[in-house]
């Protein structure tokens, strides 16, 4: 572990929770941030706060990004998203066959704000839990975007500061890889995973039917481990 510090984007979900504990092993101090962008379910932000406390981070802040709610027409933020009988979100207006859970510009905005926050905290590392292995083709979860964004942050931030590095440890991990990784990271990480909320309905444990719950369940099943969230309420 180095004494360098890192800003971790903590959504309260499975991926960012595991990333938080990965970051704890890599860096001396962790500043966790969560974004309030008008998510339909406040339980994610509450989970992020509980997980940050459990991880004993140096700081935890919720940053307001309400502009995303004004811009987005996503089932995660708007009240018009409909849950189909099959459990998947249907919306004929979403381009490129993306699910309506896609919020255009979300990670672009998140990483831009995280970069500014890192400069404020004199941090040179940002950790984000994006993965291109399992996600539904979200373009801002792909390695190409993260690489380009890392370059943009270096170009955008003050030259006197050391360059900021973006770490995306989940980028090439499958859901089952993530489960094994969380298990290896120890008891606190596993306990925190029990607090995480990934369900599109904001439930903990999840509804078991939405696409996010199905993905999470499949990961634990293939990994051969029980989801610690199943024991929570
Ligand atoms: Zn669910």
Residue 75's pLDDT is what?
53
Distance 202 CA to ligand 1 centre (A): 7
Residue 89's pLDDT is what?
41
Residue 99's pLDDT is what?
59
pTM for the model: 0.87
Residues with Cβ–ion distance below 5 A, ligand 1: 199, 206-207, 210, 213
Distance 150 CA to ligand 1 centre (A): 32
Q: Which alpha helices (DSSP H) does the chain contain, by range?
A: 14-26, 43-54, 67-71, 106-120, 143-156, 175-184, 187-195, 211-223
Q: How far apart are CA 56 and CA 35, in angstroms?
A: 19
Distance 43 CA to ligand 1 centre (A): 13
CB burial of residue 123 (10 Å; 0-12, 13-18, 19+): buried
Residue 103's pLDDT is what?
73
Question: Which strands make up the sheet holding 59-64, listed edge to edge?
Answer: 59-64, 29-36, 5-9, 125-127, 165-167
- Of 201, 191, 174, 197, the closest CA to residue 228 belongs to 191
Distance 72 CA to ligand 1 centre (A): 21
Residue 136's pLDDT is what?
62
State how far the alpha carbon of 165 is from the alpha carbons of 73, 128, 155, 184, in Å: 31, 11, 12, 24
Distance 208 CA to ligand 1 centre (A): 5
Residue 73's pLDDT is what?
61
137: DSSP letter: -
- Of 198, 228, 222, 213, the closest CA to residue 44 belongs to 198
Measured from the Cβ of residue 163, the count of other Cβ atoms closer than 10 Å reads 12
Q: Could you read off the pLDDT tens digit of each residue along the chain, which spans 233 residues?
A: 556 999 999 999 999 999 999 999 999 999 999 999 887 788 999 999 999 999 999 999 999 998 887 776 655 554 444 433 333 344 444 455 555 566 778 899 999 999 999 999 999 999 999 988 765 678 888 999 999 999 999 999 886 667 899 999 999 999 999 999 999 999 999 999 999 999 988 999 999 998 889 999 999 999 999 999 986 54
């Amino acid at each position: 572990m180095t004494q360098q510090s890192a800003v971790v984007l903590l959504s309260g979900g499975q991926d960012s929770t595991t990333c938080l504990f990965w970051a704890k092993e890599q860096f001396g101090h962790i500043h966790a941030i969560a974004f309030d962008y008008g998510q339909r379910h406040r339980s994610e932000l509450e989970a992020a706060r509980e997980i940050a406390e459990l991880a004993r981070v140096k700081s935890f802040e919720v940053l307001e990004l309400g502009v995303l709610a004004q811009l987005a027409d996503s089932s995660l933020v708007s009240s018009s998203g409909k849950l189909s009988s099959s459990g998947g979100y249907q919306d004929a207006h979403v381009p490129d066959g993306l699910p309506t859970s896609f919020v255009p510009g979300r990670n672009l905005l998140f990483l831009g704000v995280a970069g500014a926050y890192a400069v404020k905290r004199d941090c040179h590392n940002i950790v984000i839990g994006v993965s291109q292995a399992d996600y539904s083709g979200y373009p801002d979860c792909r390695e190409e975007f993260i690489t380009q964004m890392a370059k943009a942050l270096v170009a955008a931030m003050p030259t006197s500061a050391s360059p900021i590095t973006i770490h995306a440890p989940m980028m090439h991990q499958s859901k089952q890889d993530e489960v094994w990784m969380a298990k290896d990271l120890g008891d606190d990480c596993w306990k925190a995973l029990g607090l995480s909320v990934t369900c599109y309905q904001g439930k903990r444990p999840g509804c078991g039917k939405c696409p996010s719950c199905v993905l999470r369940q499949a990961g634990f099943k293939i990994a051969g481990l029980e989801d610690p969230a199943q024991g929570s309420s």
